[in-house]
Amino acid sequence: MTNSAEAFADPHQLAAAIKRRGRELGFDLVGIAPAAPSAYRDYLRQWLDDGQGGAMQYLSSRFDERTDVCTYVPGAASVICVAMNYHTRLEDAPASPSSGRIARYALGEDYHELIKQRLHALADWLRSIRPGAQTRSAIDTAPVMEKELAARAGVGWLGKNTCLINEDIGSWLLLGEIITTIHLPADQPGIDRCGTCRRCLDACPTGAITAPYQLDARRCISYLTIEHRGEIAPELQSQTGDWLYGCDICQDVCPWNSKAIESTDPAVQPRFPTGTLDARAVLAWTDDDYRRTLRRSAMKRVKLPQLKRNATIVLNNSQGG
């Protein structure tokens, strides 16, 4: 591939080249969105003011940047949105009352480092073609509305379960962005294909999906097992079932995930082949066990005392109490 500026003087040629290079680097989907303010600014403000974000105060701390990518990166013109498929096959295992399930996204290598490395490689390549252009790579730790941006870029659509859904890969998507001052032609936004389906709403055991496209994080099992640091309310404990870390229920029941393509990327293959850990073993872990077992894992978002809290709930639920 020629990396000269002349070869990609036409913005459409450059956009096509960016997508090719992104796929070469391991991204399954690449789209381009305009660097425009969020359409959900008022909704997010009200959602936070209502307390539905729970303890996730970081969502408020950089609100203006989060809701306007040009505030986060002055001079931004375009956002290159990428997605990686993390859907992998899990091994069947004999039923065990002490098995605690783990959300699929956390079963492979820590996606933060993985995506950042690939984004930086794509950004470096882009700047080699357009010297002087500014780029800023972002993942879910940055103040960006990444699902909204990805939907604008045609990577998928925002589903009723508030996940981004692609009609080929489903919602098993890890997202990343490169915000740049380069003006690029935007892709057509994703088309909502949820239709009249409400399986995700009906399947959520805690009622966290309060209406189509609306989520009360305080009731979400993923929030409760990962972001919530204190004690979990007793009525919610019984509804978290056997989830040790995160939850995939609203994705597991989604029809768009029924024929999802399996990823062959070694980095996302599950370190725990059954997608579970024994809750009794977790309760016995030392700090060294925790560090060794979860080395380079996104599960380290949860510290050991919190993970043991979750393990205790899994065991209590398995015993009917």
Of residues 100, 83, 55, 96, the one with CA closest to residue 157: 83
Annotated catalytic, 49? no
* Residue 258 structure tokens: 């029924």
Q: Are 44 and 150 in contact (CB under 8 A)?
A: no
User: What is the spatial distance between Cα 273 and Cα 287, in angstroms, rounded to a whole number?
Assistant: 23
Of residues 241, 239, 217, the one with CA closest to residue 227: 217
Helix (H, G, I), strand (E, B) or coil at 146: helix
Sequence-distant (≥ 6) Cβ neighbours of residue 27 within 8 angstroms? 82, 83, 84, 118, 122, 176
User: What is the spatial distance between Cα 54 and Cα 87, in angstroms, rounded to a whole number?
Assistant: 28
User: What is the spatial distance between Cα 319 and Cα 321, in angstroms, rounded to a whole number?
Assistant: 6
Burial class (CB in 10 A: 0-12, 13-18, 19+), 319: exposed
* Residue 187 structure tokens: 């892709």
User: Which residue in the list 10, 140, 168, 202 is annotated as catalytic?
Assistant: 140
Indicate which residues carry an active-site annotation.
140
